[in-house]
Amino acid sequence: MTAIIEILPGRTYMGKISYGSDFLEEVNAFCLSKNIRLGRIDAIGAVKRATIGFYDHESREYKFLEYEKPLEILSLIGNISIKDNKPMVHAHVTLSDENGMAFGGHLAPGTLIFACEFTVQEFIGESLNRGFDEATGLPLWDI
């Protein structure tokens, strides 16, 4: 059965992530500093390097790819919920290279910013906590 909670809009923030910063470190720290426990994030810009992942359903492990070159962030979208009693950003990203070829996946630590503008929309409602999901092996929302 589909599990749903009702949420209401809260605060909205727009910002810029500093050159050379790790995207996930910065936005997780931002959410912690503002006590954002539920929300969404989107961003555009460019990275100096990127680490993205794909979840292998059979092995139940992430496979990571590292790109040691400049890339454009065509789209980044994610959510903010609670894992281990702290805000956690879970984001997927679409990137493009110098030839306009696009690829993407689960955004991982080690993605360093060249230039990045982001929006965080906080939601008011019951916190969504991440717990182990037996069916997938993933830390999904415990609704």
Domain assignment of residue 115, yes or no:
yes
pLDDT surpassing 80 at residue 78:
yes
Number of domains in the chain: 1
Domain assignment of residue 91, yes or no:
yes
Domain assignment of residue 57, yes or no:
yes
Domain assignment of residue 3, yes or no:
no
pLDDT surpassing 70 at residue 1:
no
Domain assignment of residue 135, yes or no:
no
User: Could you list the residue range(s) of the whole structural domain that residue 116 is in?
Assistant: 9-125
* Centroid of chain to Cα 91: 2
Domain assignment of residue 143, yes or no:
no
Q: What is the pLDDT of residues 22-55, one digit of tens each?
A: 999 999 999 999 999 999 999 999 999 999 999 9
How far is it, in rounded angstroms, from Cα 110 to Cα 4?
32
Neighbours of 47 (CB within 10 A): 23
Q: What is the pLDDT of residues 95-136, one digit of tens each?
A: 999 999 999 999 999 999 999 999 999 999 999 999 999 999
Domain assignment of residue 116, yes or no:
yes
Q: What is the pLDDT of residues 37-46, one digit of tens each?
A: 999 999 999 9
Could you tell me the CATH number of the domain that includes residue 28?
3.30.1330.80
How far is it, in rounded angstroms, from Cα 79 to Cα 86?
13
Domain assignment of residue 96, yes or no:
yes
Which residue's entry shows tokens 């290279």?
97
Neighbours of 95 (CB within 10 A): 23
Structure confidence at residue 3 as a pLDDT band (50, 70, 90): confident
Smallest Cα–Cα separation from 4: which of 143, 133, 135? 143
Q: What mean pLDDT value characterizes the chain?
A: 97
pLDDT surpassing 80 at residue 143:
yes
